[in-house]
Amino acid sequence: MEKLKYERPIINKINAGVPDKFGMKVRTQIMPKIENHSVKELIKNYGSPVYVISEKIIRDTYKEAYQAFSTRYPKVQFAWSYKTNYLDAVCKIFHDEGSWAEVVSGFEYNKALSNGVSGSKIIFNGPDKSDDDLEQAVLNNSFIHIDHFDELYSLIKISNRLKKTAKVAIRVNMDAGIYPQWDRFGFNYENGEAWNALNRIMLSENLELVGLHTHIGTYIMTASAYGVAAAKLADLAVRVQKKFNHTIKYIDLGGGFASKNTLKGAYLPGKDTCPSFDDYAESMTNALINSEIEPDKLPTLFLETGRALIDDAGYIIGTVLANKRLANGRRSTIIDVGVNLLFTSFWYEHDVLPAQETSQQTEDTTIYGPLCMNIDVIRAAIQFPLLQKDDNFVIPRIGAYNMTQWMQFITLRPNIILLGVDGNVHVIREKETSETFKNAEKMPKHLDKK
């Protein structure tokens, strides 16, 4: 007689309480495949853990976002936010779809150039631009978004020395009705600092004011805040037109759109609550179209959306290392993905989905990463199926920031693979080896004794 499928015996205490008004989720979702690729095969071929990026999802998401804006506004240009994920293959997909590059350091600027982006299609943001960075950006006709007066004066000096006009915008911070208000970047709108900066630029011989920029925050759940921001920038554009008879060519409303991940402490899942691209587009474009800007002088709308364009395209897949009981009887599961590889687990409740069939039995579980460090917690409390050692799992929606903010801590960074639209799997960043780390180290002579 064929033996029955086994699962671990469990006992769960029934705790009386107020049920969620939407009821409990009744089925555990499993994810044995990503697109047509078996998770177990991917792990067998590329190791565990391994990051997986879907080219198809990147392209589909970009098209969805572009359509939301371009059907509402005549001139729209996306610029790929390098810091969100600056793997060359990922950047090239966005550039291939029509995105320019939005960079925030000399390192990212040179990455964009080496990805074949023309200097005149690079937006240079951020508070840290060295004189060399600025000089390069001026010479390449890039759009330089000035963050503070010190940078403005450096740029005046550099452009005068080079006798070349720098194309500039200012970053504006403002009260757009959201909390926390980001005021550490750029010039403030309400206290008149932004208007002062614009006047200073307009009076400079070698600076050409081409745009206005703001980035009101991150994971913004209220689409209407972008309407407030767009209206305030439009107001500055109108004042510049009136006073200097100068037309602002673009308004850059930055990024900060929420992805479908669930923030810690949120009552409902992010996929049910975060605004759609259409919601954001409606708010921004209405504000611009209804502003006092003359219709034939409407600026191009620039967008630097990062997270919402890439999060869904990224997965990390891995293996269960062990199950344990904590002192209070609570189950804990240790997996080979820690906060070193999943930085976003500090603020998201990431889904962790089994990659093989499981029953619908679950236990209240804490999921820990593999690091010998107490804060390495991927999920503090999750109703988790009864996975055994060596079972596999998928953590979806991790494409944003994890492959740039990752840490080389205790273990080395794993392979990153791309599921191409050609149906093949491509390694786009090789796993690190001990040599990767060792090669950068130098040993003082007096310590180099065998």
| Residue 38 CB, nearest approach to another protein (Å) | 21
Our finding on whether 411 is near another protein (CB under 8 A) is no
| 149-162 and 131-139 helices, crossing angle to 10° | 50
Around Cβ 306, how many Cβ atoms within 10 Å? Answer: 27
Q: Closer to another protein by CB, 4 or 26: give it.
A: 4
Cite the DSSP H helix spans in 203-339. 224-244, 270-273, 277-289, 307-310
Nearest 10 degrees: Cα torsion 258, 187, 168, 164: -150
| Residue 39 CB, nearest approach to another protein (Å) | 21
Instruction: Indicate which single residue of 70, 323, 332, 356 sits in contact with another protein (rule: CB under 8 A).
Output: 323
| Residue 7 CB, nearest approach to another protein (Å) | 6
Q: How many residues does the structure list for the chain? A: 450
Our finding on whether 8 is near another protein (CB under 8 A) is yes
Stretch that binds another protein, among 136-144, 150-158, 270-278, 321-329 (CB under 8 A): 321-329
Can you name the residues that pair with 145 across neighbouring β-strands? Answer: 169
Our finding on whether 10 is near another protein (CB under 8 A) is yes
Our finding on whether 325 is near another protein (CB under 8 A) is yes
Our finding on whether 14 is near another protein (CB under 8 A) is yes
Our finding on whether 9 is near another protein (CB under 8 A) is yes
The three state secondary structure string of 31-60 is: CCEECCEEHHHHHHHHCCCEEEEEHHHHHH
Instruction: Report DSSP state, residue 346.
Output: G
| Residue 428 CB, nearest approach to another protein (Å) | 37
Our finding on whether 11 is near another protein (CB under 8 A) is yes
Q: Which of 417, 350, 419 is nearest to 59 (CA)?
A: 419
| Residue 132 CB, nearest approach to another protein (Å) | 60
Q: Which of 40, 46, 3, 2 is nearest to 357 (CA)?
A: 40
Q: Closer to another protein by CB, 9 or 180: give it.
A: 9
Q: Which of 277, 307, 154 is nearest to 217 (CA)?
A: 307
Q: Closer to another protein by CB, 154 or 332: give it.
A: 332
Q: Closer to another protein by CB, 96 or 357: give it.
A: 357
As given in the structure block, the two tokens for residue 77 are 């240009």
Instruction: Indicate which single residue of 110, 359, 433, 436 sits in contact with another protein (rule: CB under 8 A).
Output: 359
User: In the block, which residue shows the tokens 């050409």?
Assistant: 208
**Cα 346 to chain center, whole Å?**
14
Our finding on whether 27 is near another protein (CB under 8 A) is no
Our finding on whether 329 is near another protein (CB under 8 A) is yes
Our finding on whether 179 is near another protein (CB under 8 A) is no
Our finding on whether 364 is near another protein (CB under 8 A) is no
Our finding on whether 388 is near another protein (CB under 8 A) is yes
Q: Which residues are CB-neighbours of 447 under 8 A, at least 6 positions away?
A: none
As given in the structure block, the two tokens for residue 50 are 């391994």
Our finding on whether 7 is near another protein (CB under 8 A) is yes
Size of the site for another protein (CB under 8 A): 19
Stretch that binds another protein, among 8-16, 112-120, 166-174, 270-278 (CB under 8 A): 8-16
Cite the DSSP H helix spans in 245-298. 270-273, 277-289
Q: Closer to another protein by CB, 359 or 433: give it.
A: 359
Q: Which residues are CB-neighbours of 393 under 8 A, at least 6 positions away?
A: 317, 318, 319, 320, 335, 352, 353, 354, 355, 387
Our finding on whether 361 is near another protein (CB under 8 A) is yes
Stretch that binds another protein, among 6-14, 74-82, 284-292, 334-342 (CB under 8 A): 6-14
Q: Closer to another protein by CB, 375 or 381: give it.
A: 381
Q: Which of 416, 306, 395 is nearest to 345 (CA)?
A: 395
Stretch that binds another protein, among 4-12, 32-40, 115-123, 234-242 (CB under 8 A): 4-12
DSSP 173-209: E---S-SS---SSSEESTTSHHHHHHHHHHT-TTEEE
Our finding on whether 5 is near another protein (CB under 8 A) is yes
Q: Closer to another protein by CB, 13 or 442: give it.
A: 13
Q: Closer to another protein by CB, 12 or 118: give it.
A: 12
Host H or E run for residue 354? strand 353-354
Stretch that binds another protein, among 1-9, 31-39, 184-192, 375-383 (CB under 8 A): 1-9
Instruction: Indicate which single residue of 4, 26, 372, 447 sits in contact with another protein (rule: CB under 8 A).
Output: 4
Tell me which residues touch another protein (CB under 8 A): 3-14, 323, 325, 329, 359, 361, 386, 388
